[in-house]
Chains A and B, each alone.
Chain A
Amino acid sequence: QVQLVESGGGVVQPGRSLRLSCAASGFSFSTYGMHWVRQAPGTGLEWVAVIWYDGTNKNYADFVKGRFTISRDNSKNTLYLQMNSLRAEDTAVYYCVRDNYYGSGSPDYWGQGTLVTVSS
């Protein structure tokens, strides 16, 4: 069965960096696009970024452009989100989500999320 397990969350000071990881199993990781979606406490879902199956195409939400970088290592079945210049408003649960196509499709399977708290 499809499993997505996020890690790397925690408490970080404003302006610092953090890298999230998502370990994928139960499917052929290298043939699916992947998304990051976040949810600030008590608020709605925000789409963050998508990466195509081979890493050649990436798209970002405007609010993270230039600060966050999505990447993947298909040899390790792992998705990453490098977050730089973190702000208090980046505090959220970050979900790793599989795309049901190469990267131009729709989210289908979700991980359980990892909490990032940006605070001094």
Chain B
Amino acid sequence: QTVVTQEPSLTVSPGGTVTLTCASSTGAVTSGYYPNWFQQKPGQAPRSLIYSTSNKHSWTPARFSGSLLGGKAALTLSGVQPEDEAEYYCLLYYGGARVFGGGTKLTVL
């Protein structure tokens, strides 16, 4: 069974920079896993942020960026805003099926 692992929680100060990562139990994450990132705030549906490693949707704020880092997918928030406090999920592609990571709770403090 494939497992996708994220940091359970991270804390960042307003205006700071933070990087969330996403690892696969099958080995290094490459562009062929088409990493996606989603944001979810309490009581709301998720919102798509990043697709295919680093591509932004038209509504994605510029301070969000995606990359590959040390065999993992990464989401970097630069100049964090209080409204960025949320749960963040990654999604990896496994030849048709997809698997979500367990999520990272980001606290802005």
Contact = CB atoms under 8 A, between A and B. Distances in A.
B46 A100 contact: no
A107 B48 contact: yes
Given A110-B47, A110-B48, A47 B100 contact: yes
Is chain A's binding surface mostly helix, strand, loop or mixed?
strand
Interface residues of B, number: 23
B92 to A, nearest CB: 10
B64 interface: no
B100 to A, nearest CB: 5
A15 B28 CA distance: 39
A102 interface: no
A13 interface: no
B51 A105 contact: yes
Interface in B10-58: 34, 36, 38, 40, 45-48, 51-52, 57
Contacts of B1: 62
A108 B89 contact: no
Interface of B: 1, 34, 36, 38, 40, 45-48, 51-52, 57, 87, 89, 91, 96-103
28 contacts: A35-B98, A44-B87, A44-B100, A44-B101, A44-B102, A44-B103, A45-B40, A45-B46, A45-B89, A47-B91, A47-B98, A47-B99, A47-B100, A50-B96, A59-B96, A60-B97, A61-B97, A62-B97, A95-B45, A95-B46, A104-B96, A106-B34, A106-B48, A107-B38, A107-B91, A108-B51, A110-B47, A111-B45
